[in-house]
Structure 1
């Protein structure tokens, strides 16, 4: 399993690079945008555990 420190660093990079989707309707996003949301969720979840 990857270390928690790695995920914390990755979360900071994601926050700086990947756009925020909090004010958009998830059902109206493209599949690529939905995949980015899932990726950010996965990284955030692993950095907090």
Structure 2
């Protein structure tokens, strides 16, 4: 399930690393997206 969600995240959510976002200057909604992507990616990797 997490692998599918991770693929959807990659397609739908913005990539802040490509935008060179400084984490210390990130807004709360950006931090929430970063946290969500991290959570889903880590779960997808563990489910192998």
Q: TM-score, normalised by structure 1?
A: 0.86
1:16 corresponds to which of 1, 11, 34: 11
Structure 2: segments with no counterpart, 5+ residues = none
Q: CA RMSD in A?
A: 0.5
Aligned length: 44
In structure 2, what is the Cα distance between the partners aligned to 1:43 and 1:34?
14
The 5 A counterparts of 1:1-49 are: 6-22=1-17, 23-49=20-46
